[in-house]
Amino acid sequence: MPSNPTTPVTTLELRTMKREGRKIVALTAYDALFARLVDSAGADVVLVGDSVNTVLCGQPTTLSATLEQMVYHGRIVRAGVERALLVLDMPFLSYQVSVEDAKRNAGRAMQVTGAAAVKLEGGAWLVPTVRALVEIGIPVMAHLGFTPQSVHALGGARVQGRDPEAADRLVTDAQALEAAGAFALVLELVPAPVAGRVTEALTIPTIGIGSGGACDGQVLVLHDMLGLNESFKARFLKRYANLAEDVRGAVRAFGDDVRSGRYPDPEHSFKA
């Protein structure tokens, strides 16, 4: 459990955690019920990821996620979070077209959802946007390595930064994003030694997913970690439960009880 289980987590607290060597625990959530469970169990960051588009909506990528979709899920997740820092993914084309678009869309998203920060994918090209958002009071979590909104340009979900030039570029991009004002950085599918280099080069925390243990924290998609999303079988994923089979078992038991007449029984019925 966190050292201060009732104190709300802030962007500054994450930097303190890095400085003190305390690992950051982050998970996704897409609704109030799961958000409440994740928050009460001690997660430091709750991410309303655009992965909702693939995990809950059955789409092949995150690219078709809309701002309206993210705002909707952000609002209901906010209802379940009391302590964790709530971060909202900005979806594809909500911030890439222009800085003004990014300011308008990110500002509206924070205003309507009550999120404390937004997350953007991209390298040094994103610096003007990050700087502009930070200047108007919108905290930005950056995202490097494999960036799902660029899945087609990258040729699929592939590890990034394997060769020396690409690794150097990751470090340079990370430093540029920190200088622009990003308060944290997600590193996805980056070789562990490279993620370690990036982490050492920054004063802001890194949060890894498939990027080794040197990062200042880790994030997983909740439904993957719980074993609900059986089709996702990435090497980096550790399943901490097998809830898909639990759900099937519960549905089968319910069906058996209904068909046999065991449910509802007197205990679960109302008297006149």
Residues 247 and 230 in one domain: no
pLDDT surpassing 70 at residue 240:
yes
* Domain membership flag for residue 3: no
pTM: 0.96
With left for phi above 0 and alpha for psi between -120 and 50, is residue 248 left, alpha or beta?
alpha
Average pLDDT over residues 188-211: 98
Question: What contacts 230, CB < 8 A, 6 or more positions away?
Answer: 244
**Domain ranges, residue 264:** 242-272
Tell which residue, 30, 97, 90, has the closest CA to residue 65: 90
Q: What is the Cα–Cα distance from 146 to 160, expressed in whole angstroms? A: 6
Q: How confident is the model at residue 5 (pLDDT cuts 50, 70, 90)?
A: confident
* Domain membership flag for residue 197: yes
Q: Which residues are catalytic?
A: 188
Residues 143 and 266 in one domain: no
Mapping DSSP onto H, E and C, the string for 217-252 reads EEEECHHHHCCCCCCCCCCCCCCCCCHHHHHHHHHH
Domains contained in the chain, number: 2
* Domain membership flag for residue 199: yes
* Domain membership flag for residue 148: yes
Residues 232 and 252 in one domain: no
Query: pLDDT tens for residues 97-151?
Result: 999 999 999 999 999 999 999 999 999 999 999 999 999 999 999 999 999 999 9
